[in-house]
Amino acid sequence: MAISRRKFLNMLTIGSAACLTLLTPISAFAAWASDAFNATKPEDAYKNLFGSSDLAQSDEVKLKVPKIAENGGAVPVSVKTSMKNVESISIFVKDNPQPLTATFQIPAGTIPDISTRIRLAQTSTVTAVIKAGGKLYSKSQEVKVTIGGCGG
């Protein structure tokens, strides 16, 4: 079956428009926290992401990271809580060049429990911040790194 040039160009135009329409929300979502991800100080990242740097230490935030990481390039991190109305869970590394490492939006009705791997440039403090009911709760732990993971 032969396709005419006109039909081919029409299909190409429609396909391109569909792809751009699907990619636009992804790029818009990625840009929303760019100031927070590009901050070089944890306090600036907190303010850019949450609008405040007032964190309340809480034992309800369960942060699980190793005390010693042989390779800073892939350090496992788990954060969970039994708090109600959790809006987001974010992970910060104090001495990384860009402290905001990850942020997860938690939809209503979802169990607030995340696991990921992060990079640590050097021995540093990892802080989990949970936004729940409009307030910020945190838990921190130092992780000693024997081989850094943020090389230039």
The CATH number linked to 125 is: 2.60.40.2470
Tally of structural domains, the chain: 2
> Residue 33 has what pLDDT?
74
pLDDT at 32: 62
Q: Are residues 5 and 39 in the same domain?
A: no
pLDDT in tens, the chain (152 residues): 677 877 777 777 877 776 656 665 554 455 567 888 899 999 999 999 999 989 999 999 999 999 999 888 899 999 999 999 999 999 999 999 999 999 999 999 899 999 999 999 899 999 999 999 999 999 999 999 987 555 54
> Residue 103: which of 79, 73, 120, 84 has the closest Cα?
79
Residues 24 and 47 in one domain: no
Neighbour-count burial for 39-48, b at 16+ CB within 10 Å, e otherwise: beebebbbbb
Cβ neighbors of 24 (< 8 A, separation 6 or more) are none
CA gap 44, 116 in Å, rounded? 23
